[in-house]
Structure 1
Amino acid sequence: MELGIVAAFVYGILALIGGIIGYVLASSKISLLSGSISGLLLIIAAFLQLQGQIWGLFVAAFITAALVVFFSLRLAKTRKFMPSGLMIILGVLALILMVNQMVGVK
């Protein structure tokens, strides 16, 4: 199994759990909705990659890049490392693994 697939799946799980935690701790429906949608899309993209659908990798990379930008803007606004800083670091690592897998796709 490629590391890009694992990265998409793990980052999707983290986004999903983060949305749920945001709802529980702050009653943020936006956090629940955005975390659930982005997390589920990343998990679906990972499963598509497992089934040999190359475009799943591109979907996962696009969603991850969008989340990194979102969390970067949020970190700049709030100046709080958690959860934005952690999600940026993990998102960049996941994106590196996905792009590395894309380079290997022929």
Structure 2
Amino acid sequence: MDFPVIVTAIFGSFVIFGGVMGYVKAASKASLIAGSITGGLLLLSAVLIANGIVAGAILGLVVSLLLIGQFGPSLLKKFKVMPNLLVVILGIITVGTLAFSLFK
């Protein structure tokens, strides 16, 4: 299995899990919905990449950048490891991996 597929699938799974945890801990339906949608798109991206479809890498890049854009500013305001720091770090790793796979 390709490294970009694994990285993207791990990030997608983490985002879904984070959305569920946001719902369980804070009864946040927004966290559940946003986490499910973005995590699902990342998992779809991983499947597309595994099947050799370039649009999967582009989808993964766009979703990862959106997540970094959402969680990055709140990380700068309040330094919270969960979920802000983890989403930003995993997002950066995913973006780097996908960008490298697109341009190799």
Is the pair's TM-score, using the shorter chain for normalization, greater than 0.5?
A: yes
Match of 1:37 in 2: 37
What does 1:53-64 align with in structure 2 at a 5 Å threshold? Answer: 53-64=53-64
Give the C-alpha shift of residue 51 in structure 1: 1.4
Q: Deviations over 1:43-79 (max 9, x none)?
A: 0111111112111111011101110111102223333
- Unaligned segments of structure 1, at least 5 residues: none
Match of 1:67 in 2: 67
Compute the TM-score of the two structures, normalised by the length of structure 2: 0.93
Write out the 4+ residue segments of structure 1 that deviate beyond 6 Å after TM superposition. Answer: none
The separation in 2 between residues aligned to 1:25 and 1:32, in whole angstroms, is: 11
The separation in 2 between residues aligned to 1:26 and 1:77, in whole angstroms, is: 20
Letter in 2 for 1:40: G
The separation in 2 between residues aligned to 1:79 and 1:12, in whole angstroms, is: 22
Compute the TM-score of the two structures, normalised by the length of structure 1: 0.91
Identity %: 32
User: What is the aligned length?
Assistant: 104
Say what the alpha-carbon RMSD is for the aligned residues: 1.1
Give the C-alpha shift of residue 36 in structure 1: 0.3
Higher relative contact order (CA 8 A, sep 6+): 1
